[in-house]
Structure 1
Amino acid sequence: MLFSVRYIDLSGKSYQEAWDYQTGVHLALIRQKREGSSGFPHHLILCEHRPVYTLGKSGDEKHLLLSPEECEKRGIEYHKINRGGDITYHGPGQITGYPILDLDQVYTDVHRYVRELEESIIRTLSRFGIKGSRIEGYTGVWIKADQPGDQNRKICAIGVHLSRWVTLHGFALNVNTELSYFDNIVPCGIADDDKTVTSMEKELGSTLDMDEVKKVFKEEFAAVFGFVYES
């Protein structure tokens, strides 16, 4: 049975503003479950954040290679948050997505949820002529090395948190992202020489229309999870 999702675009908001909105929705869905009521919808929130580094609850602060003071000088926010995973960057040219879904109404399987997030991204990339893949042992979506000696390139990071089977946090897809910001961190805590980060722009050699990428992702996300957007 199809369920309904409300779509919200918070691009241009600060990380804290988006976080406050996200947690408000998350708590409302949990409250609804506790009360046995209905009517408050699942949400998909998409953002283009101002420059910010976020560190997951199991992350290592040493993976931020700048001091918080230096981040502030450069106009980069820094937040410790309660998602899984390590440190990553969010900023202009990147689509950061926060699906807030009650998985009790879909399936209670966090691993399947993450795999289907990855599948939504892989299908989105495919529509722009990019072959996204999974790499065993690593979360997220990658562009696999084509030749011996080349690097596997991470194009989308994923980190989630669940409470009473209601999802929080989500993914970050590099579209036209300024990749030099990743030089100041050990992205996702992965320091392997055979792995790096990339963007759709870098892979295709041209800048993409952010609204078009969002539109395609929304279509693929709905198709994978089996829902319709509120009209």
Structure 2
Amino acid sequence: MNKKVQFSDLGVRDYKDTWEFQEKLFQEILDIKIRNRREELSLETPNHLLFVEHPHVYTLGKSGDIDNLLINEKQLEVKGATFYKINRGGDITYHGPGQLVGYPILDLENFFTDIHKYLRFLEEVIIKVMADYGLKGTRSDGETGVWLDVGTPFARKICAMGVRASRWVTMHGFALNVNSDLGYFDNIVPCGIRGKMVASLNAELKVDKVDEEEVKQKVLKYFAELFEAEIVSKKIETLHL
């Protein structure tokens, strides 16, 4: 089992370009697994973890309801935002500046073959990061992601999650609001859940800006610990393979 994870911080990148790049990495792993099975080989499958920040964009999961997007095409244009229907689980969410988006593209057969456990591990990574900042991140029954003040009228989501998996290979991932403009969430019913708010780390800490590099290092640390992975940094200049 290959527990090395090639890590790349892509910086600010267009959503569609990054999605296509994910698909290429995802397919590369699938192709190796299919070849291994057909030819009775044991070629090693790679694992990847991408960090990225997207310009304003709304994405709707395959089981999502388009009615949860509350603005039309012209209003999207005015707000400088784009919209995509995509192939992850979950409903609608927002990505934008000040948000840390993480895309683990893993062969879970290198770790464990349990999607439920995988999602709980991703949540636990963020819960541990929140604890480092003095915040109590928790899970909400039936609502994937990380929340604050669950069980109160002030429940709010600070990290959304949605994944796709095939043959135990994952893609898509999590979006942690670090220094996000939460006003952009007013244009959607976040994750299709009505009556609940969203949160950002800087707003919770009552500071203008949280050090995003520090947050990234904490996420990497806990990701490596929980998945018992070896993180190997890899610089990527272009998303075209």
Matched, 1:200 2:201: yes
Match of 2:92 in 1: 87
Code of the residue aligned with 1:14 in structure 2: it is D
Matches within 5 A, 1:46-125: 46-125=51-130
Shift of 1:130: 1.4
- Aligned length, in residue pairs: 227
CA distance in 1, matches of 2:135, 2:22: 30
Contact 2:2 2:45 in 1 (8 A): no
Give structure 2 stretches of 5+ with no counterpart. Answer: 37-41, 234-241
Match of 1:153 in 2: 156
CA distance in 2, matches of 1:19, 1:52: 12
Shift of 1:107: 1.3
Matched, 1:189 2:217: no
CA distance in 1, matches of 2:118, 2:46: 18
CA distance in 2, matches of 1:66, 1:170: 25
**What TM-score do you get using the length of structure 1 for normalisation?**
0.94
CA distance in 1, matches of 2:211, 2:80: 25
CA distance in 1, matches of 2:89, 2:24: 20
Contact 1:2 1:228 in 2 (8 A): no
Code of the residue aligned with 2:10 in structure 1: it is L
Contact 1:2 1:226 in 2 (8 A): no
Contact 2:61 2:87 in 1 (8 A): yes
Contact 1:59 1:86 in 2 (8 A): yes
Secondary structure of the 2:11 match is coil
Secondary structure of the 1:8 match is strand
CA distance in 2, matches of 1:169, 1:163: 12
Secondary structure of the 2:179 match is coil
Match of 2:29 in 1: 29
* Change in 2 beyond 3 A, CA 1:204/1:176: same
CA distance in 2, matches of 1:72, 1:23: 27
CA distance in 2, matches of 1:120, 1:16: 26
Match of 1:9 in 2: 9
Give structure 1 stretches of 5+ with no counterpart. Answer: none
Contact 2:2 2:46 in 1 (8 A): no
Match of 1:228 in 2: 230
CA distance in 2, matches of 1:225, 1:18: 24
CA distance in 1, matches of 2:150, 2:22: 35
Shift of 1:70: 1.9
CA distance in 2, matches of 1:162, 1:169: 9
Contact 2:57 2:96 in 1 (8 A): yes
Match of 2:214 in 1: 212
Shift of 1:179: 0.2
* Change in 2 beyond 3 A, CA 1:32/1:2: closer
**What TM-score do you get using the length of structure 2 for normalisation?**
0.90
Shift of 1:175: 0.4
Code of the residue aligned with 1:226 in structure 2: it is E
Match of 2:135 in 1: 130
Percent identity over paired residues: 49
Match of 1:168 in 2: 171
Secondary structure of the 1:216 match is helix
Code of the residue aligned with 1:123 in structure 2: it is K
Structure 1 residues 7-48: Cα deviation after superposition (integer angstroms, max 9, x where no partner): 011221100111111111101011111112534520000111
Contact 2:45 2:107 in 1 (8 A): no
